[in-house]
Each structure stands twice: as C-alpha cells, then as structure tokens.
Structure 1
Amino acid sequence: MPDVLPISAGAPAPAHSAPHAIPRGPYAGDKSARTVGCVIDWFLKNDLKVHSLEARRERVRILGLFRCFRNSDGRLMGDSPTDAVIGADLVEFLNRQMGHGQWTRRRWCGTIKRPFNEAAKLGLIARSPFQAVTEKRGGRGRDLSWAEFRSLLRVASPTMRRVLLFLRWSGARPEELRTLEWPHIDFAARRIVKRLHKTVHAGTEPRPRVIQLNSHLIRLLLWIKRNHPHGGRWVFVNSFGGQWRTHAICKNIRHYREKAGLPGDVKLYGCRHAFCTEAILNGLDLATVAELAGHRSIVTTQTYLHLAGKTDHLQSAIERAVNFGGAGGLGLDVEPGEAAKLMELLQRMLRGKVPGTRG
C-alpha cells in the first residue's frame, strides 16, 4: 500500500484509486508540520486546471525553483515545514529573480501561492503561509502603431512576420497562436474554435474560444497550409519547424524591436491592444469587441482601449455626440415658429439680456 494520505479522511487508498492524495512526510500526523515540498508534490499530482502542456511545464518549473530556494537563513524551502515559513520567504524569492517585469513577478507570486491556498482550503495544512503576500499589477500596455508595426515587419524573419500579421489581424492572444492546430480551423465557417484556452474555467460554464477569420486571415492561413515546410499539427512553427515557445517569441520581439530602433514598451501584446482600439475607432460597439477578443467581460476589454491622443476620432465623436440637426439647430423637435422664439431667447441670454431682469 502506497505511503499516501487521501484528502478525504479515511484509510490510505491505492495510488490508482486515490486521485486526491498527499504524500506522507516525516510529520504525516501533524498537518502544521507538513513540508513545502510535500504540499507542492500533492498539488502538481492533483491539479487539473491547466489548459496546455506548456502551461503545466511552466508551473512545474516555477514551483521547482521555489522548492530549491534557500532563504537568507540558509533554510531550504522544500524541506521546511509549512508552519516554519513566512510571507517574507516568498518576497525574498521574488526579489532574487532578476530581469522580471512586474506582470511576471505577479504571475509567479500567484503560481507559488496557489498550492498552499488550496491545501489550506481542503484542510491539509493549518493555514497558507503566503496568504498575505500580494503583488501589484504591472504597467498598462499600449497599442502598437501602424508605423511601429511596419518597422517590425521590415526587420523580422519570415516566420515571425506570419506571427505578427496573424496577431494584428485577429486580435488573438500570443498563447492562442502558439498552440493553434490545424483541426481548430474551420475554413468553411471562417472561424477558429479552441476548446482549451486561457479563460476556459472562467464563468459558470466552460465556453470555447472562437476567433473569427476575416479575408486577410483566410489568405494567410491557406498560404501557410500550402507552403507548410514540415507539415505536422502546429499552424505556426519556428524556423526549425517546431512549435513556438513563449520565451522564444518574446526573445525574437526584443531582438527585432532593438534592431528597428523602437522603444522598450513595444510588446507583442500591443497587436492585441491595437486590434481592440482600432475596432472601436471603426465603429464597433464594446460588447462586439469583447466577443471578438475573447473577453468574458467588457470591463476587461476597456483596459485594451487607447483612445487618448486619437484626436481625429475624438473630434469626429464630439460632432456626432450632440444632434445639431433639429429645428433651429438646437437639436429640439419643435415647431418652426417655436424654434424661432427659442433662438431669439438664446441670443438674448448670450448678450446677458435675460427676460425678467434689468438690462
């Protein structure tokens, strides 16, 4: 019989019939003394809410780094009982990860906290030692201008150009592009349907991610299908014919951004911001843009809109915001005779001559 303790109280069960089991450590009878490594092992064995193999690998990597981390007192996290570690240990670990932006720091913090939050919720440990640790959001991204986009296209490799064009024309997330397979594409219905995606577990019931295809995207995908160098399941492949990795795409963008002399805030996600912003500028309503972008709430979509500085659009909007076409140019649905009286009254008020007052 394996040395495990099921989540539900009772006698130990065989591994094949105990999907929720935490390995017994040297403190199996004392939940407050279970080690950090013990909780991480349990979580990785039982966590099913991962929508891609790449995401799971990243989660395993981050938790593995934390497990092997030694704090300033020389204590190894993986061997430390959960009641002996504190929030400061997690903060120290995050501070030692050099070169990470605030969004990455926030994501790592959430990844490490989750096993302990789940274990505390299910009664496997007395409390989560990192519950008080929070990380603020990173800076808000911005949309990629057409001039910046063209500059990237001029210096990018052919494989990277296809990535840029698809993201700019579709508004898709880079992860959706990276994991796109040919069976996901329905050319007849002019759409992409992905069952596993970033927000699949959001909301009351799972919904597929549907990416609508315009004529430019159809031509791009058909060209890739005809000229696919190595075949296989992935639609977008790197120069070696393999699936793109997240870090490889980011590394390429940084390289081409520097080569084109563009500022450091030019990011791949700027294509998605630009798609949402341009859709609004072209007259689409917010709910439609949210559906095209795959957002469950229009509140999320609003963070992708960058209308400040779009002077021509705002000038046009203020002209359309008020209806000046009514009788007498007042935007009022009144008889012509009444409109003339209102206009005369308005002119007198503007001159400071208001009826019922002197002057």
Structure 2
Amino acid sequence: MSASSDRWISAFLEAQSAELDAARNTLLGYGRDLQDFAGFVATAKRDLETTDRALIEDYLIHCEAQGLAASTRARRLSAIKQLFRFAFEEGWRTDNPALRIKGPGKSKSLPKTLSEAEVTALLTAARSHGRTPGDRLRNACLMEVLYATGMRVSELVTLPANAARGDTRMLLVLGKGGKERMVPLSPPARAALVEWLAVRDEVEDRHRVETGSKPSRFLFPSTGKEGHLTRHRFHGLIKEIAVAAGVSPASVTPHRLRHAFATHLLANGADLRAIQTLLGHADISTTEIYTHVLDERLKDLVLTHHPLARKD
C-alpha cells in the first residue's frame, strides 16, 4: 500500500472518529476493509488518487471470487464509497469513482436465536462452571446480565463497576457512538450482580493492599492489557458453558443471546419500540427483524404440532 493511500485512510478514519463519533469496532472494520482494497489497488500499480470505476468493480469481482459473503462485499463497497466521498469533499479528487456502483446488497436472512429452554440450561450451567467460587459467581453474573439486558458483548465486558452500584434495578450502558441508555435488570440478574460485586470488591481491595495498585474500574476486571474480560475470552467462555449445559456450542454465541433476549420479549407481548430502546437500535427497522423471527417460529409450531399438519 502506498504512503498516499495510507494517509487517505488515516485521515478518513480520524474524520469518522471526530465528526461522527464512530465506535472503535466500526473504525477497526473500516480500516481493515480499506487496507484490503488499497492493497488490491497497489497490485494493479495504481493508487487511490488514480483509481477509477473499473478498478473498483474489478476489486468487487475479486472479492466474490474469494468466496466472500454478499454482506461482506456490500460492507466493503460501503467503506470504499464513503472514502471516495470524503476524498471528493476534501478536494483530493475532482470526481467520485464509486458513486454509481451498486453492490450485491446485504442478505435478509433471519437472525438465529435460542429457545427459552436452551437459555435456562445455559443460565443453570453458568452457576456451576468455573474453577473457583468467584469464577462461578462471575460466570453466573455475566450470563444473567447478558440475557436480562440484551447488551452487546463489548458493552457487557467494558461495564464500569460504578454502573452496578446503588439501585441495581437499572444499569447505565454506554453503547455505539457513545450513546447511553438505561436497561432494567431482572430479579435473578440483580441477585447475581450483587453476589459477584461483593466478591469482586473483596478481591480488588486485597490486591490493592498487597500491591498498592489502584482497583480496577471495570465490573469484570482482568490482568490483561485492556484491564477487563475480553470479547474473545467471553466468546470462549460461553462455548464452555454451552458444553456443560448440553447445548450445541455451535449454536451459542453472545450475539445469539442478544437475539434470544429480543425474541423472547416480543413473544411475551413486549412493545417493539421498547425493545428498540433496550437494544440501543437507532432505527426501528433493525428491530423489526425480530417480528419475522417470531413469525417463523409460530409457523414452525403449527407445521410440527397441528393435528392436521402433514409430513411430506
């Protein structure tokens, strides 16, 4: 990748961060996609200043030939379009070569979720999974809070300890783009949170006395460089809990528990606008996908349990 391409991408990402307050994970995604595109441009002995529509279309064909999903190709084209629009607005180019290119579009597949029985099994297994009593209380707290709130995993693992103090009926969550929202906690989640917080504070106080270091500000602290339980570690942890619960680990992810939270609320009569607020969706059309998930479940229920249903 040329130095000029690197400067373009860096400036674009800085603008996204400063002007749009883009989330860190969003910026990392843009960066990976644009660096891949810039690498392709470099192999064609071109740079972003001389890239034309044909070269961008060649890149999309290249992505398809690699077997990338339509959603991934659509996301990469979106990043490219935004980069060249930024370059045009900054006066680096007199045209936008990506302006009229149409992508494959994102797939409309329904999000996969978990049944209430599967979630119950996971919550039960979490209470007994872990090497120490403290680990087991932490795991129970992680799972109960995640299912009770529908938080994104990045929101969960970075929760500050102060968010759990005081009235634990509600949690203040910092979501995408720095937007805050209040989410209520179920009684089991509140109980798990109180138990874990007591153990966590005791460990942090003991560590402070022994080492003289400041206590962690995170609810789920870690000795790693980030200072909190990482998304990667929690992803592995939830797979371990799935095995212990007798649920297929392939079907269990943190995001699938978020889907379960929304689907189960909707199935039990919750208002779609309320679910939108709880999930932190900016647009209700994102939340509406769960009505289709529920429709599919009801259809499956009729086809498998109605006495007149046929087996073909």
Q: Structure 1 length as normaliser, TM-score?
A: 0.60
Is 1:137 aligned to 2:106, yes or no?
A: yes
Say what the alpha-carbon RMSD is for the aligned residues: 4.0
Q: Give the gaps of 5 or more residues in structure 1.
A: 1-24, 27-34, 201-206, 315-359
Is 1:114 aligned to 2:82, yes or no?
A: yes
Contact kept, 8 Å, 1:51 with 1:197, in 2: the verdict is no
Q: How far apart are residue 254 of structure 1 and its match?
A: 5.7
Is 1:128 aligned to 2:96, yes or no?
A: yes
Q: Give the gaps of 5 or more residues in structure 2.
A: 131-135, 205-214, 303-312
Q: Which residue of 2 aligns with 1:269?
A: 255
Contact kept, 8 Å, 2:163 with 2:171, in 1: the verdict is yes
TM-superposition CA deviations, 1:294-316 (whole Å, max 9, x none): 234443322123323348999xx
Q: Which residue of 1 aligns with 2:219?
A: 235
TM-superposition CA deviations, 1:173-227 (whole Å, max 9, x none): 2232133222444632732234x52266xxxxxx632222232232222223222
Distance, in Å, in 1 between the alignment partners of 2:71 and 2:254 is: 14
The equivalences for 1:80-95 within 5 A come to 80-84=48-52, 86-91=55-60, 94-95=63-64
Q: Which residue of 1 aligns with 2:209?
A: none
The range that moved more, 51-60 or 276-285, is 51-60
The equivalences for 1:221-260 within 5 A come to 221-228=193-200, 229-230=203-204, 231-237=215-221, 242-250=227-235, 252-253=237-238, 260=246
Higher helix share: 2
Change (3 A) 1:177 1:82: farther
Q: How far apart are residue 166 of structure 1 and its match?
A: 1.7
Identity %: 23
Q: Which residue of 2 aligns with 1:289?
A: 275
TM-superposition CA deviations, 1:115-135 (whole Å, max 9, x none): 222222444323333341524
> Stretches of 4+ moved more than 6 A in 1?
311-314
Contact kept, 8 Å, 2:33 with 2:76, in 1: the verdict is yes
Letter in 2 for 1:243: H
2:183 aligned counterpart, secondary structure:
strand
Change (3 A) 1:282 1:97: same
Change (3 A) 1:208 1:254: same
The equivalences for 1:1-12 within 5 A come to none
Q: Which residue of 2 aligns with 1:169?
A: 148
Contact kept, 8 Å, 2:49 with 2:92, in 1: the verdict is no
Contact kept, 8 Å, 1:66 with 1:93, in 2: the verdict is no
Letter in 2 for 1:309: R
Contact kept, 8 Å, 2:164 with 2:193, in 1: the verdict is no
Q: How many correspondences in the alignment?
A: 271
Contact kept, 8 Å, 2:40 with 2:59, in 1: the verdict is no
Letter in 2 for 1:221: L
Distance, in Å, in 2 between the alignment partners of 1:287 and 1:65 is: 38
Change (3 A) 1:88 1:297: closer
Change (3 A) 1:255 1:93: farther
Contact kept, 8 Å, 1:170 with 1:217, in 2: the verdict is no
Letter in 1 for 2:270: L
Letter in 1 for 2:228: Q
Q: Which residue of 2 aligns with 1:353?
A: none
Letter in 2 for 1:295: H
Is 1:309 aligned to 2:280, yes or no?
A: no
**Among 192, 214, 230, which residue is 1:220 paired with?**
192
Higher Rg = 1
Q: Which residue of 2 aligns with 1:336?
A: none
Q: Which residue of 2 aligns with 1:338?
A: none
2:9 aligned counterpart, secondary structure:
helix
Q: Which residue of 1 aligns with 2:176?
A: 198
Q: Which residue of 1 aligns with 2:310?
A: none
Contact kept, 8 Å, 2:155 with 2:175, in 1: the verdict is yes
Change (3 A) 1:214 1:40: same
Q: Which residue of 2 aligns with 1:335?
A: none
1:211 aligned counterpart, secondary structure:
strand
TM-superposition CA deviations, 1:240-292 (whole Å, max 9, x none): 69424444444555676678562745432222222222223323222223222
Q: Which residue of 2 aligns with 1:350?
A: none
